[in-house]
Amino acid sequence: MSVAKRLFQAAWITVALLSTGLAQAGNPELGRAKSAACVACHGDDGRGIAPNYPVLAGQYADYLALALRQYRSGERNNPLMSPFAANLSDADIADLAAYYAAKRALVVPRR
């Protein structure tokens, strides 16, 4: 197998692992400890303190991690979230995502 083909396969494996969240699984307990700043808007339970704050509880960890990485990089521009995410490490992001993903999701009753 050529070096180029091996590199191509390795790149696809890396992308697959990152997209499935298997590359770095976070620790929910560490995430709980790191979530102190999040509580002001997202509440103790991750369900938001008001309708204009997103519910984090029960969201997919991959989605939460992606959103935080995008806030950190500036790809998602939000004057509230960007400063919080700016100094998060990849491990911090994985831990926070695992913590909120493990929380019970908000269920809205059907009418």
Helices 61-73 and 90-102: angle between axes, nearest 10 degrees: 140
Cβ atoms of 98 and 52 closer than 8 Å: no
* Residue range 74-100: mean pLDDT, rounded: 97
Contact, 34 vs 101, CB < 8 A?
no
Q: State the residue for tokens 């070096």.
A: 3
Q: What is the pLDDT of residues 101-111, one digit of tens each?
A: 999 987 777 77
Q: Which domains does the chain have, with CATH numbers?
A: 25-102 (1.10.760.10)
Mean pLDDT, residues 8-26 taken together: 60
Sign of CA dihedral 71, 83, 81, 14: positive
